[in-house]
């Protein structure tokens, strides 16, 4: 795993946007895997700024989001459909038909999961997957204990995840209990992965990711099985690994 240490959230965001833009320049038909949450907002802001100033085009890009809540209307401001429009899609030139997000309101969720994985595969797979990490080590909504072999599936959200996300809702009760998420195996199928972490709250998870066991109880540790992962983390998120950085953090 390549580790890029940056000073703060803004630098993390700029670096992540740089890697995404490199990918689009290399291949204007790039397939991007996208994430939601607080972490990637700054990255999207940088992409929007670049689009405005440098006119980088997304006309041929396809995007695939990691996850969506179950039982929330796509127009609900807390849905990840709304998040993606507000934070990125409405501000760049990507055709709506090329933006893909699991449908948490599908009549048959099992079929929706199969459809989502098949669609990603048929479109050639994901070239670059952007990821955040939960305080409990989740990636996407793959909570501790998720099999590494999992494909897109329905999950019950961990209490800590619902509590962390309650800041976007009026109350904890309103936070959905279930979601659809790309599985660990779907994520590992990406050709390249960029994992972002900012802030002291992520320090334990980053320590475990780099130095803990590769174990299903620590979902992000599966990333150590992948040969092309870049972690961009700020000083606060790397706080616990200071002095240990020379230790190999690959498999």
Q: What does the alpha-carbon distance between residue 87 and residue 39 come to, in Å, rounded to a whole number?
A: 12
One of 138, 151, 153, 226 is an active-site residue; which one?
138
Q: Which residues of 102-119 are buried (b: 16+ CB within 10 A; e: fewer)?
A: bbbbbeebeebbeebbee
Options 19-27, 100-108, 130-138, 229-237: segment touching ligand PGA (CB under 6 A): 130-138
One of 68, 117, 143, 234 is an active-site residue; which one?
143
One of 65, 136, 142, 165 is an active-site residue; which one?
136
| Residues forming a β-bridge with 4 | 232
Q: What does the alpha-carbon distance between residue 159 and residue 177 come to, in Å, rounded to a whole number?
A: 9
Judge whether 60 counts as a catalytic residue.
no
- Tokens encoding 100: 């893909």
| 137 forms part of the interface with ligand PGA (CB under 6 A) | no
| Residues forming a β-bridge with 99 | 63
Shortest distance (Å) from residue 111 CB to ligand PGA: 26
Q: Given the complex with ligand PGA, which of 123 and 235 has the nearer CB atom?
A: 235
Judge whether 138 counts as a catalytic residue.
yes
Judge whether 68 counts as a catalytic residue.
no
Question: Alpha helices of 88-223 — where are they, by DSSP H?
Answer: 109-122, 159-165, 184-188, 203-211
Q: Given the complex with ligand PGA, which of 1 and 133 has the nearer CB atom?
A: 133
Shortest distance (Å) from residue 40 CB to ligand PGA: 7
Judge whether 8 counts as a catalytic residue.
no
Positions in 30-89 near ligand PGA (CB under 6 A)? 37-39
Among 42, 102, 104, 132, binds ligand PGA (CB under 6 A): 132
Closest CA to 220 of 146, 122, 168: 146
Angle between helical axes of 9-26 and 41-54 (0-180°, round to 10): 50
- How many residues make contact with ligand PGA (CB under 6 A)? 7
Interacting residue ranges for ligand PGA, rule: CB under 6 A = 37-39, 132-134, 138
Active site residues: 67, 136, 138, 143
């Amino acid at each position: 795993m390549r580790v890029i240490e940056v000073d703060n959230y803004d630098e993390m965001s700029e670096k992540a946007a740089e890697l995404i833009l490199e990918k689009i320049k290399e291949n204007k038909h790039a397939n991007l895997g996208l994430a939601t949450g607080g972490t990637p907002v700054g990255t999207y802001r940088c992409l929007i700024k670049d689009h405005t100033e440098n006119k980088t085009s997304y006309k041929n890009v396809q995007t695939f989001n990691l996850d969506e809540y179950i039982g929330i209307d796509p127009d609900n401001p807390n849905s990840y459909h709304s998040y993606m429009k507000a934070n990125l899609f409405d501000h760049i030139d990507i055709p709506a038909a090329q933006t893909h997000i699991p449908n948490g309101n599908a009549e048959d969720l099992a079929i929706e999961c199969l459809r989502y994985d098949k669609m990603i595969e048929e479109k050639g797979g994901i070239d670059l997957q952007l990821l955040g990490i939960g305080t409990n080590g989740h990636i996407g909504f793959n909570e501790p204990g998720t099999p590494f072999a999992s494909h897109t599936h329905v999950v019950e959200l961990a209490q800590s995840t619902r509590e962390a996300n309650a800041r976007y809702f009026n109350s904890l009760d309103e936070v959905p209990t279930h979601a659809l998420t790309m599985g660990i195996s779907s994520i590992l199928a990406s050709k390249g992965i960029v994992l972002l972490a900012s802030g002291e709250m992520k320090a334990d998870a980053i320590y475990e990711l780099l130095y803990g066991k590769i174990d299903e109880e620590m979902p992000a540790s599966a990333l150590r099985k992948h040969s092309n992962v870049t972690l961009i983390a700020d000083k606060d998120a790397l706080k616990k690994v200071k002095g240990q950085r020379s230790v190999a953090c690959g498999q």
